[in-house]
Amino acid sequence: MTKEIIYTLKSPYRENLDVTAFRFGKGKKAAAIVGALRGNEIQQMYVCSQLIRELKKLEEKGQIAPDNEITVIPCVNYYSMNIGKRFWTMDNTDINRMFPGYDMGETTQRIADGVFSDLQGYEYGIQLASFYQPGNFLAHVKMMETGFTDKELMKLFGMEYGIVREPRPYDTTTLNYNWQIWETKAFSVYASATDSIDVKSAETALEAILRFLYNTGIITKKVRSGYVTEIIPESNIAQIHSDAAGIFVSTAEIGGFVNENDIIGKITDPFDGETISLIRTNFSGIVYFEYNSPLINENTVCFKIIKE
C-alpha cells in the first residue's frame, strides 16, 4: 500500500486540506473508490476505511491480481466534517455538484478538479453515495443512464437491487456522471446510513465492493455469493408525502414488503399527542426509504416504495 496526497488546499486559519489516496497493487488503473465528498457522510468514510483495511490484507497475501491498481479516497471534505456541516464550510457549496472541476475557479471547483484529475482513466469507479434527504434507505447500487451505461455490470456487486437513474440537469456536475462521460464505468453504492454508523449495512456495502472486484478479476480472493440483483428503473420507485406537520413515527421496516392501504407511519400533534395523520400506502411493494427525523413538515417525502 502507498499513501499519497493527491490535492492540497492551503488555508490561513486551519491546517492544509490534504486529500489522501491509498493505492494498492500496480499497473493499469483498474478501480477507484471514493467515500465522503460531503461533511456528514460518516458511513461512507467508514466503509472506505474498512475497505482499506481489507485491501491491505489482500495485498500482503498477493491476492490483488497482477497489473491492477486500486485507489481508495476515504474522505475529501473533512474540513466540513470536523465542524458537522454537510457542505463546504465557507460558502455552503457542494463539492459533488462541481465536477469535473476548474483549477482556476471557486474553492470547491478547484477541489473537484484536483480530485477528478487523479480519478480519470480508471476502468471502474465506485462512489459511496448518500441521499440528500434525512432518512434510512435500502442498501443498493445505482447507475446513471448516460448512454455509456452497461446495466448488467451492477449484477457483479450481488446486491439485492440495482437502480437505473435518468440524469437530471443538476446531475451533470456530479462525480458519477463525469466519470461516465470520461469513459469510466461508474457506480454509486448506497450503504443505508449517512451521518451515523450502521455496521450491518456497512458490511453489506463492503462485501458488495469486494465481490465486484473479484468478479471483474481485480482481486483473486473469492467473496461469498450475494443476491441475484433485480435491476429496476428509478421511475418504478414511488414517493409518499406527509399530509401534516408534527412528530413523525415510522412503523415500516426498510426492505420489508407492504400491501396497498397498509399503515406505515403516523404523525402526532407535538403538544397534545393526538394522532393527526396516518400514513398509508396506495400500492404494494418494498420499502426503499424512510424519513428518520422526529419532526416532519407537511408535504415531505417520508417513504419511497419500490412498486410491486
Mean pLDDT of 55-59: 98
φ/ψ of residue 22, rounded to 5: -110, 125
Q: Of 228, 247, 264, which residue is a domain's last?
A: 228
- Chain centre distance of CA 205: 10
Which pLDDT belongs to residue 184?
A: 96
For residue 148, is pLDDT > 90?
no
156 and 284 fall within a common domain? no
Mean pLDDT of 68-97: 94
Contact 300, 142 (CB under 8 A): no
Q: Of 210, 228, 246, which residue is a domain's last?
A: 228
Question: If pLDDT is split at 50, 70 and 90, which confidence band does 14 have?
Answer: confident
CATH number at residue 204: 3.40.630.10
Question: If pLDDT is split at 50, 70 and 90, which confidence band does 147 have?
Answer: confident
Closest CA to 189 of 129, 132, 124, 146: 129
164 and 248 fall within a common domain? no
Number of Cα atoms under 13 Å in the Cβ half of residue 202: 19
240 and 224 fall within a common domain? no
- Our count of domains for the chain comes to 2
For residue 308, is pLDDT > 90?
no
> What mean pLDDT value characterizes the chain?
95
Which pLDDT belongs to residue 173?
A: 96
Question: If pLDDT is split at 50, 70 and 90, which confidence band does 11 have?
Answer: confident
- Chain centre distance of CA 300: 22
Closest CA to 124 of 154, 104, 145, 165: 154
97 and 190 fall within a common domain? yes
Mean pLDDT of 220-234: 95
- Chain centre distance of CA 79: 19
Which pLDDT belongs to residue 132?
A: 77
Q: Which three cell numbers mark 250?
A: 415510522
160 and 215 fall within a common domain? yes
Domain holding 271, by residue range, is: 236-307
Angstrom distance (rounded) from CA 174 to CA 33? 15
Question: If pLDDT is split at 50, 70 and 90, which confidence band does 48 have?
Answer: very high
Which pLDDT belongs to residue 272?
A: 96
Which pLDDT belongs to residue 133?
A: 79
Mean pLDDT of 141-154: 91
Contact 242, 267 (CB under 8 A): yes
Which pLDDT belongs to residue 92?
A: 94
